[in-house]
Amino acid sequence: MDKQAYMYELIEKWEVSGLSKKDFCHHHGITRSNFYYWIKKWKNRKSEAPDGFVDITPDKAAIFHSQYRLRYPNGVQLEVSGIGLNQLAALVNL
């Protein structure tokens, strides 16, 4: 394991440890200045790639061309496309 991977792993362990940076460094035998240096590099790396979900806005044409399929317990199946949810609700409530 190279130094960068090792330090990033230590930082991730520190995050979940509940220890202060000072105590964590003392426990692992590393200097605080070195640890702060790697934390800064690690944070910059993390900010370059989005974490988790990314907001997207669907295009209006895609929303309008939605397709719906309803299957009732009696076996009747209804497929519709190109209508909005309000129109679909009106069809279901007939």
Supply the mean pLDDT for the chain: 81
Is residue 42 within 8 A of residue 56, CB to CB? The reply is no
pLDDT exceeds 80 at position 71: yes
Please give the angle made by the CA atoms of 2, 6 and 9, to the nearest 5 degrees.
Answer: 145
> DSSP label at 71?
E
Report pTM.
Answer: 0.48
The rounded percent of the chain whose pLDDT value lies above 70 is: 80
Higher pLDDT, 75 or 58: 75
Please give the angle made by the CA atoms of 13, 48 and 57, to the nearest 5 degrees.
Answer: 115
pLDDT at 34: 93
